[in-house]
A and B are shown apart, each in its own frame.
Chain A
């Protein structure tokens, strides 16, 4: 192992997590114009800023450069700058994006409009109050098993659980979902993020809880009309609609909307048809 030097303590070879240094700003020669929402829950307006362009610059770099040089009171939430933490979710030109994963060059020749996520209350500038999501999360029936962990599980039984576990809780799927964003069904609808969580719990081979009635009533899965916007915006490529929502809709359909199963239950008595097999 080579030793670090004074300029690069710890021998860090990547500066991806750092804001663009001032000496690099403007090296590419051009500038980027950003129109950023400035305001709070009471209202606000776009303010135009211009920053020197750096090759490979992401929108978060530009926003942080504006914060450092031109608008010290500009509010933006960010942490890892590596598309892992899901903190810097916002809307760029009307579509939810991670500011740290979206290159300025993608908008070559276009104006760049940066707004906070609109499905949630705005706190200030680019920061939305996403705490409603944590309340929904708390209301979901947690993992329940009569066996004591650690469990012995087989690959073939858990391979479907890796995809939902990729979720970084950026809540962009919640933001783009028209059921929340346009129809404001927050009290009745959990949203795509929590169908992903429910799918992980429901398909877990060791979990014994039954969440189908909750999915139908409290989480309002019937409000989802599977128009797939959540899948389109997911930054970690979870196939939310095909692999989480539709499988859950099918399970709910089996439990509550299948006429043959309904008849069988009537004949046998009013138990759930569910056995996980």
Chain B
């Protein structure tokens, strides 16, 4: 175990749920602000498209003002993350305190707002809807494909080839988002988790290798979930700083 992980484990039990609340709330407020209040910014960026506005989609004029164009795409990554097995663990612990942590002391505070402990339904009532996760996965494949397409476009500003720091940041961000998407538990199930006997099915060896590869990626799913979230944020901030002329976008080739 790394020294950072060991130090993290020595912290009081409430540090982890409180940190998750802080980070997810901050990310939610930032996303809501740029998507709902500044949706037109996507047209002002000189070379790059913020990942929050990719792929760009037109918006019918008859829609009410609060339904902005990025929302036509953002429901997919939002739904994918909201139903993700890792984020479920994170928000059940952090926002619902169900339980907030594993120690006996923390479990005494399980669902402090509930009238009785016996009223607990887990994922058998409203949260049974999380079982739709695989459909958000399918839709996410389309979004990730567009993100890669937009990543390639950043290398061809105004027709010619060039490499700038912003392009590398774009690629880095899409790589992390792809790692998060392809380490999904539902994908692991679809590729091999539902198979009992690889040697009995057509293409079983390929499926087994793919399953084992996704399983290795899946072991780090929580880490991919966090780093891809932060990279989305940092990529968006970087592009805004370039757009505002605060920092230059350094050219590497071209």
Contacts and interface: CB of A to CB of B under 8 A. Distances in A.
B235 interface: no
B185 A242 contact: yes
Contacts of B132: 257, 259
B89 A156 contact: no
A181 B102 CA distance: 11
B196 A203 contact: yes
Interface string B113-135: 00001101111100110011111
A218 interface: no
A203 B120 CA distance: 30
24 contacts: A94-B103, A94-B105, A118-B104, A156-B208, A157-B196, A181-B107, A183-B110, A183-B120, A184-B118, A205-B196, A220-B124, A222-B124, A222-B128, A223-B123, A226-B88, A242-B185, A246-B85, A246-B189, A247-B193, A250-B134, A254-B194, A257-B131, A258-B134, A276-B195
A20 interface: no
A85 interface: no
A207 B196 contact: yes
Given A227-B93, A258-B134, A182 B117 contact: yes
A233 B102 contact: yes
A95 B118 contact: no
Interface of B: 85, 88-89, 92-93, 98-99, 102-105, 107-108, 110, 117-118, 120-124, 127-128, 131-135, 185-186, 188-189, 193-201, 204-205, 208, 218-219, 221
Interface string A178-194: 11011111000000000
A225 B123 contact: yes
Interface residues of A, number: 48
Nearest to B86: A226
| Nearest 10 CB-CB pairings of A with B | A94-B104, A250-B189, A257-B131, A229-B102, A205-B197, A223-B122, A222-B124, A276-B196, A183-B120, A253-B131
B184 to A, nearest CB: 10
Residue among A184, A223, A276, A277 with the highest chain B CB neighbour number at 10 A: A277
B192 to A, nearest CB: 9
B118 A183 contact: yes
B185 A224 contact: no
A247 B188 CA distance: 8
A223 B121 contact: yes
A157 B192 CA distance: 11
Interface string A206-217: 010000000000
A227 B17 CA distance: 12
Contact of B117 (A183, A203, A277): A183
A204 B196 CA distance: 6
Residue among B104, B108, B188, B205 with the highest chain A CB neighbour number at 10 A: B104
B190 to A, nearest CB: 8
Interface in A224-277: 224-229, 232-233, 239, 241-242, 246-247, 249-251, 253-254, 257-259, 276-277
B122 A156 contact: no
Given A223-B122, A225-B123, A178 B107 contact: yes
A61 B179 CA distance: 46
A183 B108 CA distance: 11
A156 B85 contact: no
B201 A277 contact: yes
A258 B197 CA distance: 23
B199 A222 contact: no
B109 to A, nearest CB: 10
A249 B193 CA distance: 11
Residue among B93, B102, B193, B219 with the highest chain A CB neighbour number at 10 A: B102
Given A157-B197, A253-B134, 6 more contacts: A94-B105, A95-B103, A178-B98, A183-B117, A225-B92, A225-B123
A225 B83 CA distance: 12
Contacts of A205: 196-197, 199-200
Contact of B85 (A154, A226, A276): A226
Residue among A185, A203, A250 with the highest chain B CB neighbour number at 10 A: A250
Contacts of A276: 194-197
B6 to A, nearest CB: 12
Contacts of A251: 189, 193-194
Contacts of A247: 185, 188-189, 193
